[in-house]
Structure 1
Amino acid sequence: MVDIPSGSESLVLDSRVFTMAPRTFGNIIKHLPQEIGELLRAGGRNAGEYLKSPRRSSQHWSWPVGMSDNSAGGDSNAGNDSGTGGNTQANGGTQRPNTVLNFMLSNKVEAALWLTRIFTVVCSFLFIFPILGGNPYGFYQRALISNAATSALRLHQRLPHFQLSREFFGLLFLEDSCHYLMFSLIFMNGYPITMAVIPVFLFALLHACNYTKNILNVMGPDSLQFMRKLIDKLQLQQINILRFIACTEIFIMPAIIFMMFAGKCSFFLPFVYYKFLSLRYTSRRNPYCRTLFTEMRLTVEHFTATPSCPGIIRTACLKAIAFISRLSPPIPQ
């Protein structure tokens, strides 16, 4: 037997422990599904903060007030718990200030895409207009490398899970980001071509303007009005810019052929660029290359149908149309 000490050192067992314990554990079991649901909604990173929050710890898991020997002290503790919960709720309701840095950190991938596009715009501008001096070829390479990084990052957004399968590579070559990743790799180490920088520059400018407008909205509705007006004017001309980009993509092909005969590019470059142009022709999201080919064919056919057109030119144009039509890839439905 175990002797229980008597006197001042005796162990006093409060009978209220046994009467209140069933209600306490019943309260725990009752609110357990709700706690599990809130924990799952909190997510991976916020789960630890949720488990440590005073509001959560005092919401369903605190002992009843009657468990305390001193009821006044229990009321005081309950008041402290409710006050702590109120303070926590007030602190939880406050959010971080909506600054540009917080906006960019909220989506780091989009912010990285914006920075690479801005760098592409700057390097392309400095290559076309060498106002800072230096070697223009360095800016040419930096613009294409930055565009390749942008395309690779955007491609990872579109197809995040890489697979070694025919279906995956079929989807890969349907993406415009893959097309311009290929475009950058084609011209990166070759002879600098100004026409090759124009599509890269304009695409980066258009996409950077969209994110810049979001940043201006975070800064305030009246911030940098001149920048907002420039972006609005640029977006109004978006279709014309996309048509100009498609026209540039088409006319790079004859420029490459002339450069091949001049000895300024590889013999294989026209064949590689033909593959790029075929991908642009079958693009799902950008039909302007296909539209420009159709419009140019109709224009040439209309010109050759006029009586004033010489017979030699008419024959050459019709043969060129037939040759290009045979090279055009089938359009996926």
Structure 2
Amino acid sequence: MSDTTSNTESSDRPSSQLNFGAFKVHVLAHKIDVTLWVIRILTIFFTIGYFIPVYWSSYNAYYKALLANAATSALRLHQRLGTVQFNAQFLAKVLLEDSCHYLFYSLIFLYVPPVTLVLLPILLFAILHASSYALTLLDTLGHNAWWGARLLISVVEFQSRNILRLISFTEIFLMPLTVFLVLMGKGGLLTPFIYYHFLVQRYSSRRNPYTRNMFHELRVVFESFAAKPNMPGFIRSFILFVINLTCKLAPPQVTAQPHTQ
């Protein structure tokens, strides 16, 4: 009787314990993916540190978050493209990558005084991708490991579309904000022009159509707003002028592919 009970307990024990052996094997086999996950967690940590400064100043936390995002983007870019080649074809491939876009994004705002909204896209991307890979790590520990964390991850995954739409809206809204920063003396004269090229890259992204779709949604909203019968003529004309100017500045349409970063 006691032997049967002992055997039953020993057979039930593995299902309730964390499989650290499998976790270690996974980490050693996927060093770059795990490193990316750690840096994304640091990005989230630094961004929180910007809003709630405890261990360092908000100023330092802001630029640490940007640098962490730059490191993530550079490592992801290396992971996707491999060895660097010094030719035009390789450069063209680099410019098409979403990781290159956000490496460029970090470099733009490293030389501008802290702007809270700048951290929003990199924070949301860090949450999305860190949550996704955290689920993979939890699966290596055991399917019943840390159900609370799994619940939070499921919430993030359920809201992923809305998160990506918010990121794309922020990317667009930052364009006029960079112009405002120049007028306020808080940004360099080239900042809006450099950021415009970043926005063109996001609009032309092969894997992430959300920025392109958000431009279309905003156009529909503003055209409907301008078409209201009680809309003053000068406001209607200004809105239509901005819409036409934006359409002229937009790059040619491209065929989108499934999103990855």
Q: TM range, normalised to the smaller chain?
A: 0.7 to 0.9
Distance of 1:222 and 1:166 partners within structure 2? 49
Q: Please state whether the residue corresponding to 1:223 is helix, strand or coil.
A: coil
Q: Quote how far apart the aligned CAs of 1:332 are.
A: 3.4
Aligned to 2:42: 119
8 Å Cα contact 2:117/2:170 also seen in 1: yes
Match status 1:101 vs 2:24: yes
Match status 1:178 vs 2:100: yes
Q: Which residue type is aligned with residue 113 of structure 1?
A: L
- Matching residue within 222, 240, 247 for 1:325: 247
Q: Which is higher, the Rg of structure 1 or of structure 2?
A: 1
Aligned to 1:203: 125
Aligned to 1:273: 195
Q: Quote how far apart the aligned CAs of 1:98 are.
A: 3.1
Q: Quote how far apart the aligned CAs of 1:129 are.
A: 3.0
Match status 1:308 vs 2:230: yes
Aligned residues: 237
Q: Quote how far apart the aligned CAs of 1:116 are.
A: 0.7
Match status 1:191 vs 2:113: yes
Deviation string, structure 1 residues 64-85 (Cα, Å, up to 9, x no partner): xxxxxxxxxxxxxxxxxxxxxx
Aligned to 1:137: 59
Deviation string, structure 1 residues 230-258 (Cα, Å, up to 9, x no partner): 00011000000000000001111111111
Q: Please state whether the residue corresponding to 2:96 is helix, strand or coil.
A: coil
- What is the TM-score of this pair, normalised by structure 1? 0.69
Change (3 A) 1:283 1:153: same
Distance of 1:254 and 1:228 partners within structure 2? 39
Distance of 2:154 and 2:122 partners within structure 1? 21
Match status 1:235 vs 2:152: no
8 Å Cα contact 1:246/1:289 also seen in 2: yes
Structure 2 unaligned blocks of 5 or more: 1-18, 256-261
Distance of 1:179 and 1:97 partners within structure 2? 37
Q: Quote how far apart the aligned CAs of 1:100 are.
A: 2.2
Distance of 1:329 and 1:166 partners within structure 2? 21
Q: Quote how far apart the aligned CAs of 1:188 are.
A: 1.4
Change (3 A) 1:185 1:214: same
- Matching residue within 221, 233, 236 for 1:299: 221
Q: Which residue type is aligned with residue 122 of structure 1?
A: F
Aligned to 1:51: none
Distance of 2:242 and 2:143 partners within structure 1? 54
- What is the TM-score of this pair, normalised by structure 2? 0.87
Q: Which residue type is aligned with residue 181 of structure 2?
A: M
Distance of 2:55 and 2:82 partners within structure 1? 40
Distance of 2:61 and 2:161 partners within structure 1? 28
Structure 1 unaligned blocks of 5 or more: 1-95
Q: Please state whether the residue corresponding to 1:173 is helix, strand or coil.
A: helix
Distance of 2:57 and 2:97 partners within structure 1? 33
Q: Quote how far apart the aligned CAs of 1:105 are.
A: 1.1
Q: Which residue type is aligned with residue 33 of structure 2?
A: E
1:128-167 equivalences under 5 Å are 128-130=51-53, 132=54, 134-167=56-89
Bigger RCO of structures 1 and 2 (CA < 8 A, at least 6 apart):
2
Aligned to 1:264: 186
Q: Quote how far apart the aligned CAs of 1:97 are.
A: 6.7
Percent sequence identity is 42
Q: Please state whether the residue corresponding to 2:102 is helix, strand or coil.
A: helix
Aligned to 2:144: 222
Q: Which residue type is aligned with residue 175 of structure 2?
A: M
8 Å Cα contact 2:67/2:106 also seen in 1: yes
Q: Which residue type is aligned with residue 28 of structure 2?
A: L
Match status 1:248 vs 2:170: yes
Distance of 1:275 and 1:120 partners within structure 2? 24
